[in-house]
Amino acid sequence: MKIGIICYPTYGGSGVVATELGKALASVGHEVHFITYTQPPRLDFFSENIFYHEVSVASYPLFEYLPYESALASKMVDVTVNEQLDLIHVHYAIPHASAAYLAKQILKYKGIHVPVITTLHGTDITLVGRDPSFEPVVTFSINESDGVTAVSESLRNDTYSSFEILSNIEVIPNFIDLNRFQKQSKGHFKLAICPNGEKLLMHTSNFRKVKRIQDIIQVFAKVQKQVPAKLLLVGDGPERSGMEALCRDLGVAADVRFLGKLDTIEEALSLADLFFLTSEKESFGLAALEAMACEVPVISSNAGGITEVNIHGETGFVSEIGDVDDMVANTIKILTDEGLHVQMKANALARAKEFSLEKILPMYERYYEKIVGQSWKFPTQKFTDAE
């Protein structure tokens, strides 16, 4: 199949899922065309089945805001016509789903029919998409997609409860490449960071407000009074400087390391004893899954789809959003009970295997076949054939 993938070319979340999905589809023989405004970070290698098409937006003095959506739709039209795409798969509804709708309508006038699948990832539904400035367009473009998927049951339910959705939403969960995300022996690095055998706690994200990183730092400050520990914070974003200040205020700055963006996140995860994900919104929590694949139990909030990944009492513990004291108690429980810790590490890996790439990729392929098949059963008439 010839598939166009549209996503944000970012380090985390939907961009990573879209890029890894495209790479996996290419590895099993599909022709994959990425259409983005810059090359996705994990697409820096040669594959005969992967193509990259850059969306560039012409600037003009009149434009206070560059019309990216129009440029994206035009590029989708161009690639569909010239590469004869069978399917367009957009990741993150805003503005990709509405740009795809526009492209589809333009293609219709050229006598070309291409089905569009929209994958909802999280904040496009739970946060940004609900804003009145986006909601009508999000609702319309979801309803006009030929297929819609959500990365968790929770996100599917949120979509139905917040928007007037008329179509069926298929849940296809996020996945993990277990060949890449596996525990590596990095004992010497651990010794450098934790020279006195301290426990290593970790979090990785884009440092946005929804991640509630302040909870992690507060938990850490309290845990550290009972269990010697260090905290690694990986990633970068708007909250970072505020979090650095909080570490200083709580007197834990010397034991917290801000590592910035890391390409080889699995190396850092291999050192960790526990992983934190304390978000107030989280459709899935890919970061937690990556930790679990590296045998790291998770202390999390109960936001959104996190509980579909982190199983309370098995792969870690789950607390109410913002319940710092409960998170402290759970953290100490794991760190002071070697038997429990060992069991949870094994459970975390076993759970991660349920989301392996090998299991989830065929779900996407089957869904593609269904949508392409369905839409060809009722082909859009060529405009020139219409009465």
Query: Which tokens hold the place of 209?
Result: 């407000």
Cβ–Cβ < 8 Å for 146, 170: no
Shortest Å distance, C-beta 13 to ligand GMT = 2
Burial of 301 (0-12, 13-18, 19+ CB in 10 A): buried
**Which residues ranging from 17 to 56 are in contact with ligand GMT (CB under 6 A)?**
17
Tell which one of 85, 151, 223, 246 touches ligand GMT (CB under 6 A).
Answer: 151
Nearer to ligand GMT, 229 or 289 (CB): 289
Distances (CA, A) of 57 to 38, 67, 73: 12, 7, 11
Residue 364 near ligand GMT by CB under 6 A: no
Q: How far is the CB of 134 from ligand GMT (least distance, A)?
A: 15
122 is a site residue for ligand GMT (CB under 6 A):
yes
Q: How far is the CB of 283 from ligand GMT (least distance, A)?
A: 4
Residue closer to ligand GMT by CB (options 114, 306) is 306
Number of residues that bind ligand GMT (CB under 6 A): 22
Query: Which residue's CB is nearer to ligand GMT, number 206 or number 380?
Result: 206
Q: Which is nearer to ligand GMT, 126 or 315 (CB)?
A: 126
Query: Which one among 80, 118, 154, 174 touches ligand GMT, defined by CB under 6 A?
Result: 174
Q: Given the rule CB under 6 A, which of 39-47, 116-124, 192-200, 335-343 is the region that contacts ligand GMT?
A: 116-124
Alpha carbons 30 and 37: distance in angstroms, whole number: 22
x/- letters, 50..89, toward ligand GMT (CB under 6 A): ----------------------------------------
In this complex, which beta carbon is closest to ligand GMT, that of residue 49 or of residue 356?
356
User: Between 5 and 24, how does the x/- string for binding to ligand GMT read (CB under 6 A)?
Assistant: -----x-xxxx-x-------
Candidates 117-125, 178-186, 291-299, 353-361: pick the segment binding ligand GMT (CB under 6 A). Answer: 117-125
Least separation in angstroms between residue 15's CB and ligand GMT is 6
Which stretch, 31-39, 64-72, 103-111, 121-129, contacts ligand GMT (CB under 6 A)?
121-129
Based on the shown chain and the rule CB under 6 A, indicate whether residue 123 belongs to the binding site for ligand GMT: yes
Select 290 or 295, whichever has its Cβ closest to ligand GMT.
290
Burial of 286 (0-12, 13-18, 19+ CB in 10 A): buried
Check residue 30 and give left, alpha or beta (phi > 0: left; psi -120 to 50: alpha).
beta
**Candidates 120-128, 158-166, 185-193, 351-359; binding stretch for ligand GMT (CB under 6 A):** 120-128
Binding-site member from 92, 275, 317, 364 for ligand GMT (CB under 6 A): 92
Q: Could you tell me the smallest distance in angstroms from the CB atom of residue 49 to ligand GMT? A: 23
| Cα–Cα distance for residue pair 253/255, rounded to 1 Å | 5
330 interacts with ligand GMT by CB under 6 A: no
Contact mark string toward ligand GMT, 248..287, x via CB under 6 A? ---------------------------------xxxxxx-
- Contact pick of 76, 210, 217, 219 for ligand GMT (by CB under 6 A): 210
Which residues form the interface with ligand GMT (CB under 6 A)? 10, 12-15, 17, 92, 121-123, 126, 151, 174, 206, 208, 210, 281-286
